[in-house]
Structure 1
Amino acid sequence: MKKNFLLFLTFTSLSTLQAQTVEEKIAAKSCECLEKSSKITEDVYRDCLTKPMAELILTDKDPKVRESINTVDGIKTMILKIQGVVSKKCPNLVPSLTENKDDVFYGESKNKKAQNFYVIAKDFMQKNNYKLAIESFLLALNEDSNFVLALDDIAVSYRQLNDYDNAIKYYKKSLEVYPEGNFALMNIGVVYTFKSDYKTAISYYEKLIQYHPNNAEGYFGAGKNYFLMKDDEKALDNIFMAHIIYTNENSDYQKDSEQMLGAIYQKMKSENKEDLFKKIAEKNNVKIE
């Protein structure tokens, strides 16, 4: 199995390289579209990516290229790859709105008392004194109820105490203030997984994918929970996507996605579903021989 799986990863890299020609053509059109725009908003950016994608892929002579966007997952995968090329080809035209939001919502509180209580709470957290940390976070939130960092960290503290219900409560409060918050979306998914509520965990991971399509954690979390629900096909779709991102980022977490793919492969092989594994791999533009 180990030998075969290493061969599989090699083919993953090769297939990614082969797909670059189509992506580069779309990225070039996208950059042209963005250059013509007087103001680049997230909506304009999205339109400049998707319109040339539909035009070039649907008119491509290769049927496999046309079939690549026949599914929602296929569209997500293609958009993600194009975004990567566009960010290198015309980086000055890529909107930084999401990053600006992070700067605002993940920044210090403007309320000095709230910020002071937060600093004290973080010190308690570093000493693993989560009960006192919670008390200080509550004082901070009494001064500034929309303090996202305090909401996220009090949730972390409750999670460390295995108080999952309160952890969820404060992650939800954080998401009420900042719905796109990647920290809360990712970690509330983790907590629901601990509670064996896999469907709800997936719903939050899919929101993470929606707001942050370049974040591998959304795909990995969704894939892991689909696997726990014994939905191997959706698990593979998501873990393949996570592995592509981890590999492109040269992340240490690609070892985790390799292990997950290996576990799914072993399970499907034991159920005589090896052909289905290969079919799903092919659907994700991964060729296995």
Structure 2
Amino acid sequence: MKKNFSLFLIFSGFLALHAQTVEEKIATKACECLEKSSKITEDVYRDCLTKPMSELILTDKDPKVRESINTVEGIQSMILKVQGVISKKCPNLVPELMENKDDVFYGKSKNQNAQNSYVIAKDFMRQSNYKMAIESFQLALKEDPNFVLALDDMAVSYRQLNDYDNAIKYYKKSLEIYQEGNFALMNIGVAYTFKSDYKTAISYYEKLIQYHPDNAEGYFGAGKNYFILKDDEKALDNLFLAHIIYTNENSEYAKDSEQLIGALYQKMKSENKEDLFKKIAEKNNIKLE
């Protein structure tokens, strides 16, 4: 990336009064959405909350409001605040809290035979003996067909053998059991990218974004695939968000998002689209200098 192009994030608090107004608007829309649902599940509740949140905040004319979800902490804080308003506006429409799903689905198998076979399979993986690992994972899944960790690691083993079709097969089995699984969503996107099926890869990365909006991998994966498809605007939107989250997490992957953004800048500059690049950067509250 050229020295005259750099990124830095603008972080500033937004007016509490205005933020409360936005939260009230989101909560009102969410309650309206929930009222239309015949059965309020956790998934329905999440969708009714996140959809109006993204629509109202990202289209707000005040850049300070849009900045409010430019960090992981900002996203989490906004969700908690909106949930608080929803619980007051329509408390009868809020579902009961459930166990942490990751703890449930990413835990050990309750079947001891399945767990023992899984441990053996992981040892084979550490030795890069993926064929033997697969055999042991198969034994684990024979005992416990709903063992998500075994399904995910089976898929990883196939991917290490460049068998992307079988990798995808087992990631899909995992998602049938735990549709929000961030590991399977992220890695099935990678597998489809390796198969050059970029549109399908994007569809899974967008599901990852839907379920885990604070996970940079969803935005980075989607942005990378949009970049390959030469959809520069969508690529930039996603890559800017990924870069913001990576930077706030002090992640080493920030250099990867910065590299792709730099490549897009040079491409768009050569196509006389530098103004469009700057416009998208401004929309994402990123200042260029």
Query: Across the two proteins, how many residue pairs are aligned to each other?
Result: 268
Cα offset, 1:288, TM superposition = 3.0
Q: Which residue of 1 aligns with 2:115?
A: 115
**Corresponding position: 1:21 with 2:21:** no
Q: CA RMSD in A?
A: 3.9
Residue pairs, 1:150-229, within 5 angstroms: 150-229=150-229
Cα offset, 1:97, TM superposition = 6.2
Greater RCO structure (CA 8 Å; 6+ sep): 2
Q: Go from structure 1 to structure 2 and tell me whether the alpha carbon gap of 1:110 and 1:180 turns closer, same or farther (over 3 Å shift).
A: same
Q: Which residue of 1 aligns with 2:136?
A: 136
Q: Which residue of 1 aligns with 2:5?
A: 5
Cα offset, 1:26, TM superposition = 2.4
CA distance in 2, matches of 1:193, 1:56: 31
Q: Is the 8 A contact 1:57 1:65 kept in 2?
A: no
SS at match of 1:251: coil
Instruction: Please give the per-residue CA displacement for 1:123-157, whole angstroms capped at 9, x wherever unaligned.
Output: 00000000000000001001111100000000000
Instruction: Please give the per-residue CA displacement for 1:170-207, whole angstroms capped at 9, x wherever unaligned.
Output: 00000000000000000000000001100000000000
Q: Is the 8 A contact 2:22 2:56 kept in 1?
A: no
Q: Is the 8 A contact 1:159 1:191 kept in 2?
A: yes
The amino acid across from 1:277 in the alignment is F
Q: Which residue of 2 aligns with 1:281?
A: 281
Q: Which residue of 1 aligns with 2:259?
A: 259
Q: Is the 8 A contact 2:205 2:218 kept in 1?
A: yes
Q: Is the 8 A contact 2:239 2:257 kept in 1?
A: yes
The amino acid across from 1:64 in the alignment is K
Cα offset, 1:248, TM superposition = 1.8
Q: Which residue of 1 aligns with 2:272?
A: 272
Q: Which moved more, 1:41-50 or 1:274-283?
A: 41-50
CA distance in 1, matches of 2:174, 2:270: 43
SS at match of 1:287: strand
Q: Go from structure 1 to structure 2 and tell me whether the alpha carbon gap of 1:213 and 1:240 turns closer, same or farther (over 3 Å shift).
A: same
Q: Is the 8 A contact 1:28 1:86 kept in 2?
A: no
Cα offset, 1:92, TM superposition = 11
Q: Is the 8 A contact 1:23 1:82 kept in 2?
A: no
Q: 1:64 aligns with which of 54, 61, 64?
A: 61
SS at match of 2:288: coil
Q: Is the 8 A contact 1:24 1:82 kept in 2?
A: no
Cα offset, 1:119, TM superposition = 0.4
Unaligned runs of 5+ in 2: 28-41, 88-94
CA distance in 2, matches of 1:210, 1:120: 34
Q: Which residue of 1 aligns with 2:35?
A: none
Q: 2:75 aligns with which of 70, 79, 83?
A: 83
**Corresponding position: 1:248 with 2:248:** yes
CA distance in 2, matches of 1:162, 1:53: 37
TM norm structure 2: 0.78
Cα offset, 1:113, TM superposition = 0.6
Give percent identity, aligned residues only: 65
CA distance in 2, matches of 1:55, 1:194: 36
Q: Which moved more, 1:74-83 or 1:178-187?
A: 74-83
Moved over 4 A (4+): 22-25, 27-31, 41-58, 74-82, 86-99
Q: Is the 8 A contact 2:130 2:157 kept in 1?
A: yes
Cα offset, 1:83, TM superposition = 2.6
TM norm structure 1: 0.78
CA distance in 1, matches of 2:167, 2:195: 12
Cα offset, 1:287, TM superposition = 3.2
Q: Is the 8 A contact 2:125 2:133 kept in 1?
A: yes
Cα offset, 1:84, TM superposition = 3.7
The amino acid across from 2:152 in the alignment is D
Q: Which residue of 1 aligns with 2:30?
A: none
